[in-house]
């Protein structure tokens, strides 16, 4: 009889034997494999933490204790064990469960977590908060108080914020446990000296080595006298695994391990002893990413977050994996373009922060290993490194997801833009990203970067325009530049049309019939920034015979095409501004500011973009439909722009859950 259907709360785990827990681990693992093979999702990282998650919930009571995830894509087993198994069948959709910790789903999830390196710091905050509220665990005064556990791993320990968290964690005078899931990976192979250190630890230390130096370590650690007391309360197994040469010991954290992260009996024994240690400590757990699915174990990068797939096995052909088909992506187009650019120009260098496959620069790393860099999960460092290379006369391109650019904004400001250095930002996953949801949307890169003097901000609408923007950036030496493009397939709609070169601050007319605004005055002009230009062309075609519509690929959010804006407003042509970016501070705001500077009436301008609210997980197509950035949504918006006295039709109300705001897309559309 299956065990998983009998688990309704984590407390049910305490009635199971080790053998039953091992069976349960197999059932959880199989349910994750079956679902991700159908829908896609984060596979290898979740398979690697099944036993660890079971053991933590068996030992701790996280209805009272605190569990904080770092890289949140390791949360599927946790969600299954905390009453959300019925939502797994609709993983990463609005009706199902998010692929990341989500407090609106369960009280067991404390933070929405999608960016790495944060768990230790938020855990330190909760530990201090519980202590101040007199709710924290203390073996003498409050043995039933809240314990705090942070689960960090998948390469995120190298993040700078994690270092800051560790530096403060060592000062806590209370229970505080960091569980380090060391799987030898992040999304791809981890980079840097710390990764090499953990590699050495995994292969060199034995339990006898740890035991030999345990007492010496405890004399060295700050507060050693108190730690010696804790040490004597610990069992022989934990004593045997204390590291005398732990990197974490330098932060003042008692360190235990590494231990086998797939041995449930050992995990439970170690966690049980660690649970009541009244000093901050690290439990170093060694796991295998992709555990339980051989193809994922062999290629954890490919199966980190795969699309839907099938695995076919035969005696003759072996194992064959088929991924769900899709069109050519912007990421692939960018990766190929970088290789060609690096062939032509030896000064071009490229870097990413732990996303070589996700950004496409794995191709450049293979072709030009001396000029291609993966820094690990260190966006701030990568930005500063690019600034240093620009200072040396090189042409650095930093390939980074739009959502992760936020982590390096200070460096973009201080070390790049302020210095006038030509660092080039290639912003993948711009706009709505689909199933990863709110934690990963790239909705504020324009509003952030356009505050920087002399920055040049562009968007691509298809592969030829991406290539043209990169060519422009390669020659632009006056300061910071950026191009944004979505997690999507490139459109072939304009494949029969020549793509002109990018000229600073010049939009591109996509409807040639309106080249002369005086002789062919359109009813509406659509200025679209990025891929919504393609949907705008489709909408314009659908409205033929009802309105004449001029569609422009704006190309630049900074500088704005002042000449075009002036022409349209002086002729009193209604303008619809469209962007796959927040309505707050984005391209539309930049055009309004431009019109104001020109002293022109803005009453015929309508802005349309991502509304000022969180867009939850779903397919990218469904999200675009929800906010009215698909063809049908733009048909309605063009009609609205053409008639300044019309109201937005009721059918354009955003699709949302009952508990969410159900206002119409007036939330994402503003007439100025």
The b-or-e profile of 151-186 (16+ CB within 10 A means b, else e) is: bbbbbbbbbebbeebbebbbebebbbbbbbbbbbbb
- Answer yes or no: 671 catalytic: no
Cα 243 to Cα 254: distance, rounded to the nearest angstrom: 8
Q: What's the sign of the alpha-carbon dihedral 649, 651, 655, 657?
A: positive
Q: Residue 347 corresponds to which tokens in the numbers above?
A: 């000064």
Q: CA–CA separation, 359 vs 404, rounded Å?
A: 12
The pair of three-digit structure tokens given for residue 334, joined into one six-digit string: 């960018």
Residue 544 burial (10 A CB sphere; 0-12, 13-18, 19+): exposed
DSSP per-residue string spanning 620-652:
HHHHHHHTT-SHHHHHHHHHHHH-TTPPPPGGG
Catalytic-role residue among 379, 463, 626, 670: 379
Residues with Cβ within 8 Å of 553's Cβ and at least 6 positions away in sequence, in order, are: 461, 465, 507, 508, 510, 528, 533
**Cα three-residue angle 296-302-306, rounded to 5 degrees:** 90
138: which 2 tokens?
């203390």
> Which among 363, 407, 424, 558 is annotated as catalytic?
407
Closest CA to 508 of 535, 469, 474: 469
Q: Is 315 a catalytic residue?
A: no
Question: Of these residues, 146, 239, 286, 289, which one is catalytic?
Answer: 289
Q: Is residue 61 exposed (0-12), middle (13-18) or buried (19+ Cβ within 10 Å)?
A: middle
C-alpha–C-alpha distance, residues 296 and 45, integer Å: 10
Determine whether 379 is an active site residue: yes
Distance (Å, whole) CA 13 – CA 592: 59
Q: How far, in Å, CA of 81 to CA of 105, rounded?
A: 13
Q: Of 119, 26, 39, 29, whose CA–CA distance to 71 is shortest? A: 119
Which are the contacts of 168, defined by CB distance < 8 A and separation ≥ 6? 121, 124
Active site residues: 289, 379, 407
């Amino acid at each position: 009889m299956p065990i998983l259907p009998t688990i309704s709360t984590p407390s049910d785990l305490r009635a199971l034997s080790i053998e039953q827990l091992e069976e349960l681990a197999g059932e959880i693992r199989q349910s994750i494999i079956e679902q991700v093979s159908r829908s896609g999702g984060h596979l290898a990282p979740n398979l690697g933490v099944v036993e660890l998650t079971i053991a933590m919930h068996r030992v701790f009571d996280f209805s009272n204790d605190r569990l904080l995830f770092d890289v949140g894509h390791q949360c599927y087993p946790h969600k299954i064990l905390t009453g959300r198994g019925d939502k797994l069948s609709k993983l990463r959709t609005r009706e199902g469960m998010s692929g990341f910790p989500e407090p609106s789903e369960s009280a067991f999830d404390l933070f929405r977590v999608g960016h790495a390196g944060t768990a230790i710091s938020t855990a330190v905050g909760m530990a201090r908060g519980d202590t101040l509220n007199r709710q924290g665990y203390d073996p003498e005064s409050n043995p039933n108080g809240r314990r705090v556990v942070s689960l960090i791993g998948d390469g995120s320990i190298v993040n700078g914020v994690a270092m800051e968290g560790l530096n403060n964690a060592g000062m806590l005078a209370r229970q505080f446990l960091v569980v380090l899931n060391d799987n030898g990976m992040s999304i791809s192979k981890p980079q840097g000296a710390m990764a090499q250190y953990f590699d050495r630890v995994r292969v060199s230390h034995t339990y006898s080595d740890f035991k030999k130096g345990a007492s010496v370590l405890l004399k060295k650690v700050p507060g050693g006298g108190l730690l010696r007391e804790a040490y004597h309360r610990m069992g022989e197994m934990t004593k045997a695994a204390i590291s005398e040469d732990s990197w974490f010991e330098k932060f003042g954290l008692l360190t235990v391990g590494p231990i086998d992260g797939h041995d449930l009996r050992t995990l439970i024994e170690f966690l049980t002893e660690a649970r009541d240690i009244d000093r901050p400590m690290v439990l170093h757990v060694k796991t295998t990413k992709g555990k339980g699915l051989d193809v994922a174990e062999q290629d954890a990068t490919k199966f980190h977050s795969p699309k839907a797939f099938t695995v076919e096995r035969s005696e003759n052909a072996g194992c064959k994996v088929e991924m769900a088909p899709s069109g050519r992506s912007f990421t692939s187009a960018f990766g190929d373009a970088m290789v060609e650019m690096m062939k032509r120009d030896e000064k071009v260098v490229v870097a990413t922060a732990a996303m070589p496959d996700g950004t496409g620069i794995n191709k450049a790393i293979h072709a030009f290993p001396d000029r291609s860099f993966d820094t690990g999960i260190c966006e701030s460092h990568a930005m500063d490194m690019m600034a240093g290379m620009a200072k040396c006369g090189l042409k650095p391109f930093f390939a980074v997801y739009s959502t992760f650019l936020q982590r390096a904004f200070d460096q973009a400001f201080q070390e790049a833009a302020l210095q006038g250095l030509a660092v080039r930002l290639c912003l993948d996953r711009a706009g709505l990203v689909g199933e990863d949801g709110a934690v990963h949307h790239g909705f504020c890169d324009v509003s952030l970067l356009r505050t920087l003097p002399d920055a040049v901000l562009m968007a691509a609408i298809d592969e030829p325009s991406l290539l043209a923007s990169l060519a422009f950036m390669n020659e632009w030496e006056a300061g910071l530049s950026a191009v944004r493009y979505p997690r999507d397939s490139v459109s072939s709609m304009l494949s029969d049309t020549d793509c002109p070169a990018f000229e600073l601050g010049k939009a591109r007319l996509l409807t040639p019939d309106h080249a002369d605004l005086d002789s062919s005055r359109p009813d509406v002009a659509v200025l679209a920034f990025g891929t919504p230009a393609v949907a705008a062309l489709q909408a314009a075609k659908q409205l033929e015979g009802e309105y004449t519509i001029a569609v422009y690929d704006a190309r630049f959010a900074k500088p704005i095409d002042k000449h075009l804006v002036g022409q349209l407003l002086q002729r009193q042509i209604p303008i619809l501004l469209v962007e796959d970016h927040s309505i707050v501070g984005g391209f539309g705001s930049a055009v309004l500011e431009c019109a104001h500077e020109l002293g022109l009436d803005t009453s015929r301008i309508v802005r349309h973009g991502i509304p000022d609210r969180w867009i939850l997980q779903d397919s990218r197509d469904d999200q675009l439909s929800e906010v009215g950035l698909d063809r049908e949504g733009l048909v309605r918006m063009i009609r609205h722009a053409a008639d300044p006295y019309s109201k937005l039709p009721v059918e354009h109300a955003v699709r949302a859950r009952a508990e969410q705001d159900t206002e119409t897309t007036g939330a994402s559309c503003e007439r100025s």
